[in-house]
Amino acid sequence: MSEARTLATVAQLTCFDEVVDVRTPMEYAEDHVPGAANRPVLSNEERAQVGTLYKQVSPFTARRVGAALAARNIAHHIETAFAERPRSWRPLVYCWRGGKRSEALVHMLREVGWQAQRLEGGYKAYRRAVREELPQLARRLHMRVVCGLTGSGKSRLLETLERLGAQVLDLERLAAHRGSVLGNLPGAPQPSQKMFESRLWHRLRGLDPQRPVFVESESARIGTLHVPDELMARLWEGECVRVETRLAARLSLLKAEYAHFLADPASLGGQLDCLVALHGHAAIDRWKDMALRGDWDLLVGELLERHYDPAYRRSILGHYPGLAHAQAVYIESPEEESFLAAARLLIALPAAAPA
């Protein structure tokens, strides 16, 4: 896709009252334009049915059946989801390639009197735009990378910075994962890689390149997801700040963050099995027993001492060379005032000299 077409696709997304995705729920779940509403012209099963007819019977039969199904679904959307839209409503509609499905809905919406339009090139053009813009968006940003041992409160510090008006890129929130072997969020599966990149693209486009962006010192993978290479490079080149947190505060913060494991020690045991290759069965069995007994301070302390802290120290300086001379902030307790003080100090830091 040429730069002009990429710009045209992105410009379309910002010029309408609502973006409507008419693909199937399965396609939508894999990835979609952030904020788009899913109003399928064909359901998952209906699209499969039409595709089978196209291959096994005839294109004509497939189109006839598909048209009837689409008409019923479009009528349902007009009677329900779109029923209260004003006369001036201007929706932008897309399907996979800007073809028949979006054309069918746009036609009916225009017949009603709404100023509907198709996204040129459909989702495929949008996806190309995301892939092409992500490196450019990443390169323009100045990163302030928040570094610190596991449990030092980095995520909570980012939340506090955001509340105080600082620009924050919370990669773990976008990835729905805390970034460690125990990092799965209960009831919140990770998005697909494409959806993660869509969320990143949307967030990066909203950041002001004239102001610093606070971000946590992530690795290149967050759970099952890969942080785009150009964005990862910007983190590694970023201006580091170091969070120093008392051990007692770290234990308290981790127990609060992983409260779901305290409520369900058996599920923690299943996750700890992932560490057998590194620490052996004897250590894992002992940690599982601590969990079942509710000996949380001892368990968390051992996990930090034997697994998380050594792993962090092995990797951090190799990836974040700026950490050696980083400004330090101190978290004395898990209380809110300690995080507010650290966040205010970071916000007040002078701008870094140009590289």
pLDDT of residue 267: 84
- Are 85 and 177 part of one and the same domain? no
DSSP states along 121-155: THHHHHHHHHHHHHHHHHHTPPEEEEE--TTS-HH
- Are 112 and 178 part of one and the same domain? no
pLDDT of residue 355: 47
Tally the domains of the chain.
2
Q: Strand, helix or coil at 185? A: strand
Q: Domain boundary at 71, 100, 130, which?
A: 130
For the stretch 159-198, pLDDT in tens is 999 999 999 999 999 999 987 767 777 778 999 999 999 9
* Low-confidence residues of the chain: pLDDT under 70: 1-4, 181, 352-355
Asked if 12 and 119 count as a contact pair (C-beta separation under 8 A), the reply is: yes
C-alpha separations of 192 from 87, 121, 226, 268 in Å: 36, 22, 10, 24
Looking up residue 342, the CATH number of its domain turns out to be: 3.40.50
Q: In what order do the strands lie in the sheet with 327-331?
A: 167-169, 213-216, 143-147, 239-245, 327-331
Range of the domain at 8: 3-130
Q: Domain boundary at 130, 156, 171, which?
A: 130
Handedness of CA 77, 82, 87, 90 (dihedral sign): negative
Query: Is 354 part of any domain?
Result: no
- Are 162 and 225 part of one and the same domain? yes
Q: Which two tokens stand for residue 108?
A: 């009916």
Query: Is 170 part of any domain?
Result: yes
Query: Is 353 part of any domain?
Result: no
| Cβ-based neighbours of 203, under 8 Å, separated by 6 or more | 169, 174
Q: What is the pTM of this model?
A: 0.91
- Are 40 and 120 part of one and the same domain? yes
pLDDT of residue 354: 47
Q: Is 95 one of the catalytic residues?
A: yes
pLDDT of residue 314: 86
**Closest among 178, 157, 196, 96 to 346, alpha carbons compared:** 157
Looking up residue 108, the CATH number of its domain turns out to be: 3.40.250.10
- Are 42 and 116 part of one and the same domain? yes
- Are 156 and 298 part of one and the same domain? yes
Q: Give me the amino acid identity at 66.
A: G
pLDDT of residue 3: 66
- Are 99 and 34 part of one and the same domain? yes
pLDDT of residue 353: 52
Q: Domain boundary at 77, 110, 130, which?
A: 130
Q: Which of 15, 95, 147, 240 is catalytic?
A: 95
pLDDT of residue 205: 96
